[in-house]
Amino acid sequence: MNGLKKFGSKIRIPALSISVALLVGAIFIIFTDIEVLGGLLSDPIGALSLGIGRAAASYSALFRGAFGDPENIGKALASNGDIKLWARALRPIVESVVASVPLIFVGLGVSVAFRTGIFNIGGAGQYTMGAVGGTLAALLFGAGVTPAPIAILLVMIFGVIGGAAWAFIPGYLKARVGASEVITTIMLNFIAGQFVFFLVSNFEFIQKPPRIQPVSKELSQFVDLPGILPISALRMDISIIIALLTAVAVSWFLFRSTRGFELRAAGLNLAAAKYAGIGAGTSIITAMLISGAISGLGGALVAVGTIKQLSPGIAGSVGFTAIAIALVGGTRPSGVVATALVFGLLQHGGSLMQVETSIPIEMLLFIQALVIAFIAAPELTLGILKNPFRRRPRSVAK
């Protein structure tokens, strides 16, 4: 009972944040509906109920897209093992988990840096460079050049190297000359995108044959990550298992190893850590290398296994989402995995919502921003819960 209470207090603010953000999202859906806005003056109640109905329909689509349609699940249960029906019933939830894989990786990577007191906004760039590494490895060693398991291993190693190398630059600059990692990582994100653009539009070895679009060749011809589900129509490959193993490893590293303790100490109080003999520079560089390596591993696995192609925009909004995930998850591996799954559900559910009710999936970005704001200002969040209209006395902790 005590454990349950502890768990409850731990997830109270994250859960509250996400719920409030979704609620605000619903209000946003209602008040960006031109028909609702148009009817607001002549028939407010009718217009509002129309809006609420549409918001409910959108969130229902979001739910079905995330977890699966109850109707389909019912049919599958009744069918007595019809593979096709089962595949249809399970596809949404499986795809949601697949969507959370890059989020787990980058969220973990960003968390390690956060724990060390480094605000690594470069998750997107490190992920992208990991994808570059993985793609190059697949093109070089895939398609029978080396046995499949070795090729997969090389994809992972190259991804790790790509991400770590990209993270080394801001880490080194921060440690040696104190250059703000915020600025350098933002800049490196852009450079990574341009670099991929350069690669996929200038090299015959990489670019897709007619050489018109700036995308790489189909990577599935080179390396194919083995699936883990008995139904082959569902594409869930070993990258989710690697993601979970990485989470366990990060957890062990941060909370059970000496090096991890040093990083956390440096993150809590750099001056005190220095006093205790922990090298600040080494901590920063180590943290950035690990952070980049994890993000890069994710980039390589997702580029080769899930998207099966390298393109300049491969990172999408994963860098932003990862920051939200790291903060919501309390920069704790278990929290990150759980939050990444929630965001994966939202993301895949959001795509069905976009198809069915034409609510743009970009709403999720907005929701993420709100969630980050709520998490970063717990006082604000709890204030909303208590009484939004009571002015709190201005007695900030001194």
Partner 1 sequence: MRKKKPVAAARAKTTTAAPAKRSTSVGDGADAQQQLIASRVRAGLFALFTLLSLAITSGSVGVEGKFAFWVDKVGGTDVAFSVPVVLLWAAVTVGFGAMAALQLVRGASFRWRLAIGLVSPVLVFALLARLLDGTTANLTVFFTSTLLYTVPVGIGALAGIIAERSGFLNIAVEGKLLFGAMIGSIASSITGIAIAGPIAGAIFGALVSLFLAWLGIRYKVDQIIAGTVINIGALGVTTFAYLRILQPYSEFNRPIGITPIQIPFLSDIPVIGPILFSLSPYFYIAVGLVLFFTYMIYRTRWGLRLRAAGEQPNAAGTVGIDVVKLRYRAMLVAGLLAGFAGSYIALSGTGGFGVNTSAGKGFIALAAVIFGAWNPVYAFGAALIFGMTSAATTLLSGLGVSLPPQILLSMPYIVTIIVVAGLIGRVRAPASAGRPYDQG
Q: Which residues bind to partner 1, rule: CB under 8 A?
A: 28, 32-34, 117, 119, 121, 169, 173, 177-180, 182-184, 186-188, 190-191, 194-195, 197-198, 201-202, 267-272, 317, 320, 323-324, 327, 331, 358-360, 362-370, 372-373, 375-380, 396, 398
Q: Which C-beta is closer to partner 1: that of 11 or that of 179? A: 179
Residue 207 Cβ vs partner 1, minimum distance, rounded to whole Å: 13
Residue 24 Cβ vs partner 1, minimum distance, rounded to whole Å: 11
Residue 371 Cβ vs partner 1, minimum distance, rounded to whole Å: 9
- Close Cβ partners of 145 (under 8 Å, ≥ 6 residues apart): 151
Residue 64 in contact with residue 352, Cβ under 8 Å? yes
Q: Which C-beta is closer to partner 1: that of 302 or that of 375? A: 375
Beta-carbon-side half-sphere exposure of residue 146 (alpha carbons within 13 Å): 14
d(CA 66, CA 93): 6
Q: Of 329, 82, 66, which Cα lies nearest the Cα of 74?
A: 82
Quick count: other Cβ atoms within 10 Å of Cβ 141? 21
Residue 120 in contact with residue 181, Cβ under 8 Å? yes
Residue 178 Cβ vs partner 1, minimum distance, rounded to whole Å: 8
d(CA 351, CA 33): 19
What value does the CA radius of gyration of the chain take, rounded to a whole number of Å? 23
C-alpha separations of 103 from 4, 20, 54, 310 in Å = 27, 22, 29, 18
d(CA 85, CA 87): 5
Residue 38 Cβ vs partner 1, minimum distance, rounded to whole Å: 11
Q: Which C-beta is closer to partner 1: that of 34 or that of 45? A: 34
Q: Which C-beta is closer to partner 1: that of 45 or that of 177? A: 177
The alpha carbon dihedral of 62, 236, 299, 328 has a sign of: positive
d(CA 163, CA 132): 9
Quick count: other Cβ atoms within 10 Å of Cβ 10? 14
DSSP-derived 3-state class of residue 146: coil
Q: Which C-beta is closer to partner 1: that of 191 or that of 233? A: 191
Residue 298 Cβ vs partner 1, minimum distance, rounded to whole Å: 20
Residue 345 Cβ vs partner 1, minimum distance, rounded to whole Å: 18
Q: Which C-beta is closer to partner 1: that of 4 or that of 177? A: 177
Residue 246 Cβ vs partner 1, minimum distance, rounded to whole Å: 22
The token pair at 188 is: 């490196």
Q: Which C-beta is closer to partner 1: that of 88 or that of 174? A: 174
Q: Which C-beta is closer to partner 1: that of 297 or that of 359? A: 359
CB neighbour burial string for 316-325, b if at least 16 within 10 angstroms, e if fewer: ebbbbbbbbb
